[in-house]
Amino acid sequence: MPDTEKSLRRLELSNVLRVPVILNVIDTIKLPPGGKGLDAGCGNGFFALMLAEAVGHSGHVNGLDIEELFLTRGSALASQAELAERISFVRGDVKKFPFKDNAFDWAVSIDPIGYVILQVHPAVLLKQSARVVKSGGMVYILMWSLQIMFLGYPTLEARLNATTLGVAPFDEKMKPDSHYMHALGWLKQAGLSEAKAQTFVGDINPPISKENSKPW
């Protein structure tokens, strides 16, 4: 299987685990109904669909990703969910969005580890997001961290939590200043006012329920 197909498969498997928390995030940020937004690094568009649901019939979401295969999958999912009119998928690079200044009411980027692996610092993505979002709009970046509870096995638990699963760096190429703990600083560097960090917690306990494991 080519690498991009493998990444798509991995992403689709991980969606099962991420859905409850991301739904909670979307519910909390309360996107303006009817607004126009950007999902930067949208992957297979799975969460762009949820964003499109959140903005309602008169809203619109642009999903941007560098991988054509992901965008093709996103378009198929949008048609399947009868949301195609509310979503456009565009191939592009987060280093330079193919959009005019002030084109959107908000911009979201969910789990953009990919950028870091490709050695694009998250601050670059946030600066681009700030450029394309209108004054008074919102820019969101959502990052993951994992804590493993292995009750009764404290040493194993500590070891697991010290691996790439527990703490960044997720990848040996990742620079320490790309760690999520610096996210508030990146928002400020991007010139965004009223930068705020918030934590969302989700419990994932096997076996995964049928409800959480069904595709869109």
Ligand X SMILES: C[S@@+](CC[C@H](N)C(=O)[O-])C[C@H]1O[C@@H](n2cnc3c(N)ncnc32)[C@H](O)[C@@H]1O
Phi-psi region of 56 (alpha: psi -120 to 50; beta: other; left: phi over 0): left
CA gap 71, 55 in Å, rounded: 20
CA atoms of 45 and 91, how far apart (whole Å): 12
Give the residue with the Cβ less far from ligand X, 58 or 213. Answer: 213
157 contacts: CB under 8 Å, gap ≥ 6: 148, 149, 150, 151
Among the listed residues 49, 61, 107, 120, the single contact to ligand X using CB under 6 A: 120
132 binds ligand X (CB under 6 A): no
Smaller CB separation from ligand X, 58 or 119? 119
Q: Which is nearer to ligand X, 110 or 138 (CB)?
A: 110
Q: Which is nearer to ligand X, 96 or 188 (CB)?
A: 96
Beta strand ranges found along the chain (DSSP E): 36-40, 60-65, 87-91, 104-110, 133-142
Q: Is 113 one of the binding residues for ligand X (CB under 6 A)?
A: yes
What does the per-residue mask of binding to ligand X show for 155-194, with x meaning CB under 6 A? ----------------------------------------
Smallest gap from Cβ 66 to ligand X, in A, equals 4
Listed residue (118, 119, 115, 117) closest to 129, CA to CA: 115
Which stretch, 108-116, 128-136, 195-203, 204-212, contacts ligand X (CB under 6 A)?
Answer: 108-116
Chain residues 5-64 in contact with ligand X, contact rule CB under 6 A: 11, 41-43, 46-47
Count, residues near ligand X per rule CB under 6 A: 21
> Is residue 105 within the footprint of ligand X (CB under 6 A)?
no
**Distance separating alpha carbons of residues 78 and 148, to the nearest angstrom:** 34
Q: Which of 37, 112, 122, 137 binds ligand X (CB under 6 A)?
A: 112
Q: Which residue has the tokens 């508030």?
A: 184
Residue 49 CA to residue 46 CA, distance in Å, equals: 6
Q: Three-class SS of residue 16?
A: helix
Site residues, ligand X (CB under 6 A)? 11, 41-43, 46-47, 65-67, 70, 93-95, 110-115, 118, 120
